[in-house]
């Protein structure tokens, strides 16, 4: 699939088929995340893949009640917890780069999943301490996000996007491209 087609067509999926996800596809997606750029190439990210329904069910209480992805998290056959070790990144000029590093890797997961016919939905709104305790994630790690992963059982329509002239400028702020 053409990368620009992946950019155009990828959507957040909140309804999944119960079809198992092939391990080869999971590994291909994780490999795409592994290839993401990072601060000084320190690669601070770690990925916990959950396929055990009981482990996923135990995490449900860690998500905020108003998190629209809760049902999808349980429904999808796989979930990926994206973590980062801040000690393997840096804090500079007011920016915690572990968040950016993990976010880039997370987006690689989302785009690679779509390219192989799978769906994802970046989820936040969770109790990090509760989730870390339930998954025995070491104290030094931070959870940046979670995504269900599986075969989509919906085809969401494109969401509105701002025009390029509203968000990109050439040479001078406010001068549209």
Query: CA-based Rg of the chain, rounded to a whole angstrom?
Result: 17
Kindly report, residue by residue over 114-138, the tens digit of the pLDDT: 999 999 999 999 999 999 999 999 9
Integer Cα distance of 62 and 97 in angstroms: 25
Ramachandran bin of 105, using left for φ above 0, alpha for ψ from -120 to 50, beta for the remaining angles: alpha
Q: Identify whether the C-beta of residue 102 lies closer than 8 Å to the C-beta of residue 86.
A: no
What span, in angstroms and rounded, lies between the C-alpha atoms of 168 and 41? 28
Average pLDDT, 10 consecutive residues per value, the chain (177 residues): 88 96 98 97 97 94 89 96 96 91 98 97 95 97 98 93 93 89
Spatial contact of 99 and 144, defined as CB atoms under 8 Å apart:
yes
Q: What are the boundaries of each domain within the chain?
A: 3-60+70-153
- Tally of CA atoms within 13 A in the half-sphere of 76 that contains its CB: 29
Looking at domain 3-60+70-153, its CATH architecture is 3-Layer(aba) Sandwich (3.40)
The predicted pLDDT at position 177 comes to: 79
Task: Select from 107, 125, 113, 103 the least CA-distant residue to 78.
Answer: 113
* Angle ∠(151,152,158) on CA atoms, nearest 5: 145
pLDDT of residue 14: 95
pLDDT, residue 69, reads: 87
Within 10-167, where are the H helices?
23-34, 53-59, 70-75, 97-115, 128-135, 164-167
* Predicted pLDDT at 92: 87
């Amino acid at each position: 699939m053409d990368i620009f087609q992946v950019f155009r067509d990828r959507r957040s999926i909140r309804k999944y088929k119960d079809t198992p996800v092939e391990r080869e596809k999971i590994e291909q997606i994780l490999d795409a995340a592994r290839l993401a750029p990072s601060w000084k190439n320190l690669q601070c990210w770690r990925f916990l893949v959950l396929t055990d329904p009981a482990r996923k069910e135990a995490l449900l209480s860690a998500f905020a009640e108003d998190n629209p992805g809760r049902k999808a998290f349980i429904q999808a056959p796989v979930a990926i917890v994206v973590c980062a070790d801040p000690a393997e990144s840096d804090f500079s000029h007011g920016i915690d780069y572990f968040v950016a590093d993990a976010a880039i890797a997370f987006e690689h997961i989302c785009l690679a999943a779509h390219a192989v016919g799978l769906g994802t939905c970046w989820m936040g709104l969770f109790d990090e301490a509760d989730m870390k305790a339930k998954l025995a994630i070491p104290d030094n790690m931070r959870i940046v996000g979670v995504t269900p992963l599986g075969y989509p059982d919906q085809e969401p329509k494109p969401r509105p996007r701002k025009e390029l002239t509203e968000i990109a400028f050439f040479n001078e702020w406010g001068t549209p491209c």
